[in-house]
Structures are given as C-alpha cells and as structure tokens.
Amino acid sequence: MASHTGTGSCLCGTVKYQVDNSAESVLHCHCWMCRKQHGAAFATWAFYPIGRFRLLAGTEALQTYISSEKVGRTFCRECGSSLFFAPPEFPKRLTAVWVAAGTLDGEPGRKPDSHIFVSCKAAWYAITDDLPQSAE
C-alpha cells in the first residue's frame, strides 16, 4: 500500500492533527449516539492504530464527552466539530482512535468498508450503496 500522510482539522481550525498511512477501517455508523453527536443521518469514522495519529495543534480546545463506559467523543470546544472517538483517557494518553472522516482535509486512503448499527438507522435515510451492512 502506498504511504500516505494526511492532515485534518476542525471547522474553526484550532484543532489540527496528522494521520500516517491509510485508515485501517472506514465505517458508516448509524447508531443513535453518532447521529445525535454529528447532527446527521450517520457518522463516518476512520480508524488509525496507535502511533499513526498525532495532534498538531489545539489540544487545549479539545473536550471529551464520555458517552459510555469505555468511549469518549472528543470535540472542539470553540466550534463544536465532532473529531474523535476513542477510549476516555484520550487525548491525555494517545491511543488508537477513530477520526470523524469529515474532518480529514484529504481522504482516508481507503473506501468505506461497511454500514454498522443499521438497526438504529434514521427512518428518513435510505442506504443506496452496496456496502455490507450489520445490525450492530
């Protein structure tokens, strides 16, 4: 696979990050928490293992909402952009991280793999692609 370095940022530009190589997985998540958090029909998350993700700027603007026991959803306090989905200790300790793919400045280097949590899908949204779907 070709090496690929990409950057990402929030809407206001305070938070900047870098990812190395292609995402290892890209998922469209239709769960109700992702829908609420993103204010959208679904969230697209790109997975980067530990060591492939680095914060470049704006760490002080990051705020994390602990949405369940082992998961934090990190956003920019200045502009509200949804950014990361990771264990609650992130970003104090860097971990593997799911990046909100819409905040990448480029592309994740990989096509979306599948739709997940389609059992909670918004009734007003119809999936029209041929990607695999899982209920959870």
Interface residues with Zn ion (CB under 5 A)? 10, 12, 14, 29, 31, 34, 76, 78-79
| Separation of alpha carbons 136 and 133, rounded Å | 9
- In 3D space, the residue among 59, 46, 43, 70 whose CA is nearest the CA of residue 94 turns out to be 59
In angstroms, what is the minimal distance from the CB of 1 to Zn ion? 26
Cis geometry, peptide bond prior to residue 91 (ω within 30 degrees of 0) = yes
Which residues sit opposite 16 in a β-bridge?
A: 9, 57
Q: Please state, in angstroms and as integers, the Cα–Cα distance from residue 59 to each residue in 46, 56, 76, following that order.
A: 20, 8, 9
Pick between residue 29 and residue 86 the one whose CB is nearest to Zn ion.
Answer: 29
Pick between residue 19 and residue 31 the one whose CB is nearest to Zn ion.
Answer: 31
In angstroms, what is the minimal distance from the CB of 32 to Zn ion? 8
Neighbours of 126 (CB within 10 A): 8
First to last CA, the chain: 29
In angstroms, what is the minimal distance from the CB of 94 to Zn ion? 19
In angstroms, what is the minimal distance from the CB of 111 to Zn ion? 19
Pick between residue 19 and residue 62 the one whose CB is nearest to Zn ion.
Answer: 62
Pick between residue 51 and residue 134 the one whose CB is nearest to Zn ion.
Answer: 134
